[in-house]
Amino acid sequence: MELMGKTKVVIIGSGMSGLFAGALLAREGVDVTVLEKEPNPGGLLASFRRRGTWFDTGVHYLGSLAPGQVLWKYFQTLDLFPLCQFDQMDARGLEEYRFPGGYSFQVPQGWDAYEQHLVDSFPAEKSAIQACVRDWRSMAEHFPLYNLNITFSPEQESEVFSDPKAAMPLREYLKQHFSDPKLRACLSANNALYGIAPDECPVYIHALIVDSFINSAWRVRGSSQTLCQALVQRLREAGGQIRLNSRVQKLVSENKRIAKAVLDSGEEITADWFISTIHPKQMLGLVDDQAVRPIYRQRINRLEETISGFVLSLSLSGEGVPTPRRNYFLHRTWDTAAAYHVKDKEAWFNPEAIFVSPLETSPGYSRTISIMCPMPWPIWSAWQDSTRASRPEAYRQTKERIARVLIQRLEEVWPGISQRVEFWDGATPLTFRDYTGTWEGSAYGIKKGCTQLRESTLSVRTRSENLLLAGQSVVLPGIVGATISAAAASGIIMGFPNLIKRLSQS
């Protein structure tokens, strides 16, 4: 790897994708510098501390981490397991969906157990359930990048989209297959995991996300900060560096290549390769038309975003509330798209659906809980000129109002919980915009929705031969998606045969 020792790579952003790419390339002998605008690394992977309590920002559980599964292979390649422990979610119910009338459905781990539980709950639809499980598993099996077929070509991409079942809206698919609206709701209740309404989400996105968690679901022991620290440690051990408080302001082109990154401070950093893991629309703000064609710029800038969110982080008194290792999706209607199609501004403050993630702080108990609900940018855009340090009073009051509603909703799972809240912290679309730089606070980056399926499928390569893209907007949202995109970008630099060898050795 002597040749690789001379290769210099600058990575913009230290979220999951930036740290993974950085650590992977550094272990190959590449000279890696990760540039992060914040004083702490991790982006959505970082945890934050309030009054001595740690809260996770954007990683509440991870999928496919059992030996041999997709994320396990990637993590094993970096030898992360000695540095970071993972606890498996409850085998009988990694997720629980609650609907009107006290109806609840728990999602067991493993496809066979999941299928059986669906059949037991909706016996009249047995054959349709079996066909659906076959469809979804087959979509996951055939999605190239997800299956470590990292050389994913445009031809393979067309294959995915030419499968009409994979490209159709989830809600339409469910209507065609099932007559019971309760079953349809159970099969689309966890859409908050990717932030696309079931009437807009292509079946393959849902199938991939469901597959990654059904295969096996895990929590980082302690907090997601541990995983962040493990990645930073592996990066540094291999000679890579991470520079904090280093916002990239510009990427300067010369002869259709990126020559250097310019920081806010004016410092210039040259490299052979640049990997941008930031939101693609933010990346466009850094480059000129030599780096990207105007038509590409227009295409990306026109793309819709996944919805943003309001995230409430709660600290409870005493030992907290009893709970298995499980996340909850609480729906007020059987229409699982309702949370996205809210007409009245006021109604956003009283959401149709919320995601609840209790973090295990002692065996079987949780003292900290994250609650997330969809929240569109326009509700908060009146305060878009404010900064983290200068939010106006009206903004704070709006946060408080939503916090009260969300805390009250938790009574459904844990009666009496509202009396046990010690303190809370709320993140809004403005928080996400300012903290991770995501466009209009979008939770999962660019929306891979049915109406922009091809346009939203981004290549890792750009017109500039040494500028690569990674991050949650590229392949798939979530930790699995961010990791896959990072591996794909790294593969271009270190060579795919080399990458595949590393992955297969794990």
Which stretches of the chain bind ligand FAD, using CB under 6 A?
12-18, 35-38, 43-45, 58-62, 247-248, 277-278, 282, 309, 311, 372, 436-438, 443-444, 471-472, 477-479, 482
Q: What's the DSSP call for residue 417?
A: G
Q: Give the phi and the psi of residue 265 in degrees, each rounded to 5.
A: -75, -10
* Whole-angstrom distance, CA of residue 430 vs CA of residue 444: 14
Minimum distance from residue 259 beta carbon to ligand FAD (Å): 17
Residue (278 or 458) nearer to ligand FAD, CB: 278
Residue (186 or 372) nearer to ligand FAD, CB: 372
Residue (44 or 174) nearer to ligand FAD, CB: 44
Minimum distance from residue 65 beta carbon to ligand FAD (Å): 11
Write down the H helix ranges in 52-125.
70-77, 111-121
* Whole-angstrom distance, CA of residue 183 vs CA of residue 174: 9
* Helix or strand run (H / E) with residue 455: none
* Helix or strand run (H / E) with residue 62: strand 62-63
CA-only gyration radius of the chain, Å:
22
Write down the H helix ranges in 274-392.
280-284, 294-302
Minimum distance from residue 476 beta carbon to ligand FAD (Å): 8
Tokens (6 digits) for 281: 């629309």
| Degrees, nearest 5: CA angle 434-235-4 | 115
Helix (H, G, I), strand (E, B) or coil at 383: helix
Minimum distance from residue 238 beta carbon to ligand FAD (Å): 19
Residue (58 or 198) nearer to ligand FAD, CB: 58
Minimum distance from residue 272 beta carbon to ligand FAD (Å): 19
Residue (269 or 405) nearer to ligand FAD, CB: 269
* Whole-angstrom distance, CA of residue 370 vs CA of residue 359: 8
Residue (46 or 503) nearer to ligand FAD, CB: 46
* Whole-angstrom distance, CA of residue 260 vs CA of residue 258: 6
Residue of 387, 412, 368, 491 lying closest to 24 (CA atoms): 491
The 10 Å CB-count burial string (b at 16+, else e) for 446-474 is bbbbbebbeebbbebebebebbbbbbbbb
Minimum distance from residue 436 beta carbon to ligand FAD (Å): 4
Minimum distance from residue 155 beta carbon to ligand FAD (Å): 26
Residue 108 exposure: Cα atoms within 13 Å on the Cβ side: 13
Residue 42 backbone class (left: φ over 0; alpha: ψ -120 to 50; beta: rest): left
Residue (204 or 274) nearer to ligand FAD, CB: 274
* Whole-angstrom distance, CA of residue 468 vs CA of residue 466: 6
Helix, strand, coil: what percent of the chain each, to 5? Answer: 40, 20, 35
Minimum distance from residue 313 beta carbon to ligand FAD (Å): 10
Return the amino acid letter for 146. Y
* Helix or strand run (H / E) with residue 306: none
Residue 303 backbone class (left: φ over 0; alpha: ψ -120 to 50; beta: rest): beta
Residue (128 or 373) nearer to ligand FAD, CB: 373
Tokens (6 digits) for 177: 């297959």
Minimum distance from residue 16 beta carbon to ligand FAD (Å): 4
Residue (129 or 278) nearer to ligand FAD, CB: 278
Residue (202 or 477) nearer to ligand FAD, CB: 477
Residue (174 or 246) nearer to ligand FAD, CB: 246
Residue (62 or 303) nearer to ligand FAD, CB: 62
Minimum distance from residue 127 beta carbon to ligand FAD (Å): 32
Minimum distance from residue 90 beta carbon to ligand FAD (Å): 15
* Whole-angstrom distance, CA of residue 112 vs CA of residue 110: 6
Contact 292, 458 (CB under 8 A): no
Minimum distance from residue 395 beta carbon to ligand FAD (Å): 19
